[in-house]
Amino acid sequence: MAHWWWGIVAAFALVLFNGFFVATEFAIVKVRRTRLRELEKRGPRIARLSARRRVAQPGSESD
């Protein structure tokens, strides 16, 4: 019995994971610095981490 379909399932799963990470990266890059500062003051820990990460990236001067 051939299990060639496991390769197809694995490839599909990897494409889905890659899409998730690309969407996350686009969301972090797209958000304006002023919005990050506002979220940083109000609260969620993830906003503070994202703000630090965004400032640390080269070429992130545009708002």
> Would you say residue 29 lies in a domain?
yes
Provide the residue-wise pLDDT of the chain in tens; the chain has 63 residues.
468 889 999 999 999 999 999 998 888 788 777 776 776 677 667 666 666 666 555 555 544
> Would you say residue 31 lies in a domain?
yes
> Would you say residue 61 lies in a domain?
no
pLDDT at 32: 74
**Total tally of structural domains belonging to the chain:** 1
pLDDT at 24: 87
* Cβ-contact 57, 46 below 8 angstroms: no
pLDDT at 11: 96
> What residues have CB less than 8 Å from 57, skipping those under 6 apart?
29
What is this structure's pTM?
Answer: 0.50
